[in-house]
Amino acid sequence: MRIVLLGPPGAGKGTYASYFKKKYCIPHISTGDIFRAEIAKNTELGRRIKEYIEKGLLVPDEIVIEVVKQRLSQPDCEKGFILDGFPRTIAQAKALDKITKIDAAIHLYVPMEVAVDRLSNRYICPKCGRIYNLKFMPPKNDLVCDDDGTPLIRRKDDEPEVIRKRYEIYYQTFQPIIDFYKEKDILIEFDNTVGSEVGIPMLEKILIEKNILKIEPCNPSVSIQ
């Protein structure tokens, strides 16, 4: 399954990607994660990326494309991958077409106010990255991670007005990409207003029926969290 995952803040991309990654052993590739890792390792690439980020500039397409190309060439991507946050420009989308064949672009979407309600109740474990929602998926113990006992944190950009602005900026940036994949007839529009517990089995069924998800689970016991 080689997919591009699209969706505004609050659409549930992290939850969906985590489920498919754990159940089917398909890597979830986020350019942001790659950038942070390269910066932490102080590689030449990391230093170049850091320069742009510290200046408040976008990392140039040619660097982003090369980073993704290198990542997709690694052995764990042989059975597929989930790309998150890439492509974010038409140039990147066209370059990706030359690197590999994409089976589908999945656009998870929710209305803005649904996104606000979800994210304003979201807390994250800073150690393992597990995401909780105090309204829908609360931790078993008050503001403590179920997996490792780490105190949960709330991101500063999860304030309602900030969320609305992030939502608007997302579509200003990614609508051309959504349209690009729609024109290629590989876009799957999926309304995740229903939430992940209902939505994940629905999307999984769609991917299997469309012959996009072609591998057997490596961990069938994975639950929807």
13 is catalytic: yes
166 is catalytic: yes
Three-state secondary-structure class, residue 98: helix
154 is catalytic: no
Which is the catalytic residue, given 2, 71, 88, 118?
A: 88
Which is the catalytic residue, given 13, 71, 118, 130?
A: 13
Which is the catalytic residue, given 23, 71, 118, 122?
A: 122
Q: Specify whether the CB–CB gap between 163 and 9 falls below 8 A.
A: yes
Q: What contacts 117, CB < 8 A, 6 or more positions away?
A: 135
Among residues 120, 106, 123, 91, the alpha carbon closest in space to that of 202 is found at 106
Which is the catalytic residue, given 155, 182, 184, 210?
A: 155
Q: Which helix (H) or strand (E) holds 109?
A: strand 104-109
Pairing mode of beta strands 81-84, 28-30 = parallel
164 is catalytic: no
88 is catalytic: yes
Q: Which residues carry out catalysis?
A: 13, 88, 122, 155, 166
